[in-house]
Amino acid sequence: MCAAGPRGPSGFRRGIMMWNGQDIDLDAYFARIGYDGDASPTLKTLGELHRAHVAAIPFENLDVALGRPVPLDVKSLAGKLVAQARGGYCYEQNSLFAAVLERLGFEFGGRGARNRTRGAWLPPVTQVLLAVTVEGQLPLCDAGFGGQGPLEPVPPDFTVMDHYSSSHPQSRFVGQVVAQRTAPGMRRALVRDEFTTVRTDGTEERSTVPAGELGRVLSEVFDIVMEREELAQLGALGGGLNGR
């Protein structure tokens, strides 16, 4: 993330050249992606640059497959993806795109993500993307995801995510009780009917909470007070909640 100097209105720090945008040849980059539009740091420019980049520069891992190192400095990236008309994978693509955005004056930060396109398998955090702050919006840019990647910046849609989490049968929150809280020297969690305390010394305590004790645990441990009817409904879920 850009992290030094005064903070801008978005909260990101400005002033450091972490992405080394000063080293990018914008004319050569624009020629590579076929872009001749406006270069001011606006939402419109961001979208046009993103679309032009992913259309012109292919995703590929050929150097990795050949056992070669993959440097991320701007000179190496520009030499490979721009001058040699090669492609690259997410670290290369988004590092190059970040250098361009920094040079143009955009405010943004780097983010790590997981590739969840392969079903239920939970992979490690190996994807990188950019969170941009522009014109009061917070679009996510990923110029290096390949054929399934976004063509343009994606605005975060919390409404859709909230709807899935609160209603989809596969959501971890549907049909089961979840309450968690930190305290000095420990973390406490109630998942289904299992109450767990994990202490900083590594010790754990686990116990089962009967339905009749749910209200007391919620109140005493989590400071949550529920109505009797609500507690009855939650207690009826028991330990077999959603089969998880």
Interval 103-119 mean pLDDT: 83
Handedness of CA 140, 143, 145, 151 (dihedral sign): positive
Nearest C-alpha neighbor of 28 from the set 129, 90, 130, 103: 103
User: Does the structure show a pLDDT above 70 at 6?
Assistant: no
User: Does the structure show a pLDDT above 70 at 7?
Assistant: no
Cα 113 from Cα 154, distance rounded (Å): 14
Cα 182 from Cα 187, distance rounded (Å): 4
CATH level 2 (architecture), domain 21-158: 2-Layer Sandwich (3.30)
Q: Give residue 72's pLDDT band: very low, low, confident or very high (50, 70, 90).
A: very high
Residue 12's pLDDT is 37
Buried b (16+ CB within 10 A) or exposed e, 122-143: eeeeebbbbbbbbeeeebbbbb
| 206 HSE (CA, 13 A, CB side) | 5
Interval 189-201 mean pLDDT: 96
Residue 161's pLDDT is 82
pLDDT in tens, 77-88: 999 999 999 999
Interval 104-131 mean pLDDT: 80
User: Does the structure show a pLDDT above 80 at 243?
Assistant: no
Q: Where are the domains of the chain?
A: 21-158, 171-238
Q: Give residue 9's pLDDT band: very low, low, confident or very high (50, 70, 90).
A: very low
For domain 171-238, the question of CATH label 3.30.2140.10 is answered with yes
pTM summary value: 0.69
Count of H-run helices and E-run strands, the chain: 8, 7
User: Does the structure show a pLDDT above 80 at 117?
Assistant: no
Residue 121's pLDDT is 65
Mean pLDDT of the chain: 87
Q: Give residue 99's pLDDT band: very low, low, confident or very high (50, 70, 90).
A: very high
Residue 172's pLDDT is 87
**Would 21-158 and 171-238 be classified into the same CATH topology?**
yes
